A and B are shown apart, each in its own frame.
Chain A
């Protein structure tokens, strides 16, 4: 859009776009281990339904996804696939790291075959701690991410200043309000 390229995005329009984006996130579920079951419960079960938040858990491929939830232990053998998956996603993209294995290696911190956290490979926006985190914790992570998206500067993002240029402190669920 012409407005965005020239950097002249007025505030009401940004707010509208951000609201639209945050309430229509398409989540690609990269479920690896036990956290995948809790993610399945959060996204697919009738009780902790995630669709009421506007998040659709059914994209056909990573190329159609806004958000990826990496849940479960990441091993060194699996890491290249995750990197490739992340690169396939179009901007703007967000990453939620679910569970302590994806956050920092978790109970397998001393293993010879486990990557100690996926933030070693891809940049993470939200950390959801737990082993496994309750489905409500994951939904809290999604809600906090939505708050951040609503406060985002869209112009900076679309000018091509990708994820590296924007200094974003990752959110940790349970760590207080987000601005």
Chain B
């Protein structure tokens, strides 16, 4: 561990030096580098303006807004089912996960709970969307660092999960399957057996990626000790999900919050890592994917029978009130603050998206970092543009 502590100290000193360099009069002309908005490594249209002194970053600033679609204004003119359909597209890789906190908030306002069968199936689909999302992250991680092969494996294995989601909901992603009071439809016959097979394949995929990428010496030396975020800073900025747990903070909304989802009915583990560097963030996501497959396996064995939808009126008017629900989405903590005035649609919805907070730390974490490390830090922080820009 001395090696790691030295690297951390070095990067801290480099950051201090970068700050100090701004004041030196004999400074050489720095260069301003514009990364994005169209760049293979930026997961979408994120533009980062970076001022360099040689190879080191002196100042960095992400410029978001290239995918700003005005979600919060659009939700004010739509009805609740329409908002559910729209909200799928915020985190567009794990789409079912976006619907769930919104539906839960509306159900809280209406003071109803979905029947147990619906709760279990919601949890299963939630974990499937987590697997679909993070398996693409693992593939993309290779591409950011120059290893092109894992992304083909990721797409191939993701197809199995998308097929599952499609056979249950009708949509590969953007399922639009959640309804206030339950789900739209029940599971098709044979889905449970098929899902178990797919979970085995996904576990193989995780093992392959672990061997191919994480055991690789180049991968380790590019990610260990880079982009260290201490726990206090992470909490101040509101980092969530794997980013927070990689800094040693033991906080997982699936376990620490009481929501009508089936997480307390199964046995599973929360992964944390003390280092807080890029490697820790990536490693935790790998472990969480494997954990998600275990959760799905256990849930599949115990789905209760019963109705799939609670008794709700055909035209839903949610009573007046305010509710906040957040869940542990694949990207982090995603929450909706729903203000309703007894209408067909919400009055105001504040969407708290995980990547917005995750990327707000970029100016802080990129100081004193070398240019290739910029890409690897961004890769490890993992954001989706739709989540940042809404």
* 29 A-B residue pairs with CB within 8 Å: A32-B385, A33-B89, A34-B92, A37-B92, A38-B172, A40-B155, A41-B158, A44-B151, A44-B152, A46-B152, A46-B156, A47-B156, A47-B159, A72-B67, A73-B69, A75-B67, A75-B69, A77-B65, A77-B68, A78-B37, A78-B66, A81-B37, A108-B69, A110-B74, A110-B77, A111-B73, A112-B70, A113-B69, A132-B172
B173 near A34 with CB under 8 A, answer yes
Complex alpha-carbon distance, A113 and B159, angstroms: 33
Mask, A64-78, CB within 8 Å of B = 1, is 000000001101011
Kindly state whether residue B386 has any CB partner on chain A within 8 Å: yes
Contact of A108 among B44, B70, B172 (CB under 8 A): B70
Kindly state whether residue A45 has any CB partner on chain B within 8 Å: yes
Chain A residue numbers with a CB within 8 Å of B68 are 75, 77, 113
A-B interface contact total, Cβ < 8 Å: 82
Kindly state whether residue A131 has any CB partner on chain B within 8 Å: yes
Kindly state whether residue A23 has any CB partner on chain B within 8 Å: no
Kindly state whether residue B93 has any CB partner on chain A within 8 Å: yes
Complex alpha-carbon distance, A109 and B159, angstroms: 30
Among B45, B85, B151, B173, the most chain A Cβ lie within 10 Å of the Cβ of: B45
Chain A residue numbers with a CB within 8 Å of B16 are none
Complex alpha-carbon distance, A131 and B77, angstroms: 21
* Given known A110-B74, A110-B77, A134-B172, contact A34–B66 (CB-CB < 8 A): no
Residues of chain A at the chain B interface (Cβ within 8 Å) = 30-34, 36-38, 40-41, 44-47, 72-73, 75, 77-78, 81, 85, 107-108, 110-114, 131-132, 134
* Given known A33-B386, A114-B69, contact A107–B89 (CB-CB < 8 A): yes
Give chain A nearest CB distance to B189 CB in angstroms.
Answer: 24
Chain A residue numbers with a CB within 8 Å of B85 are 107
Closest-by-CB residue of B relative to A46 is B156
A34 near B74 with CB under 8 A, answer no
B92 near A33 with CB under 8 A, answer yes
- Interface of chain B residues 55 through 79 with chain A (CB within 8 A): 65-70, 73-74, 77
Mask, B90-105, CB within 8 Å of A = 1, is 0011000000000000
A131 near B38 with CB under 8 A, answer no
Among A34, A75, A113, A132, the most chain B Cβ lie within 10 Å of the Cβ of: A34
B70 near A37 with CB under 8 A, answer no
Known: A44-B151, A46-B156, A75-B65. 15 other contacts (CB 8 A): A30-B38, A32-B385, A33-B386, A34-B89, A34-B92, A37-B92, A41-B155, A45-B152, A45-B155, A75-B69, A78-B66, A110-B77, A112-B70, A132-B173, A134-B172
Among B70, B86, B173, the most chain A Cβ lie within 10 Å of the Cβ of: B70
Closest-by-CB residue of A relative to B74 is A111
Mask, B3-24, CB within 8 Å of A = 1, is 0000000000000000000000
Among A32, A46, A112, the most chain B Cβ lie within 10 Å of the Cβ of: A32
Contact of B386 among A34, A78, A132 (CB under 8 A): A34
* Given known A33-B385, A108-B74, contact A77–B66 (CB-CB < 8 A): yes
Closest-by-CB residue of B relative to A30 is B38
Closest-by-CB residue of A relative to B140 is A40
Complex alpha-carbon distance, A36 and B173, angstroms: 12
A113 near B70 with CB under 8 A, answer yes
Mask, B24-44, CB within 8 Å of A = 1, is 000000000000011000001
Kindly state whether residue B174 has any CB partner on chain A within 8 Å: yes
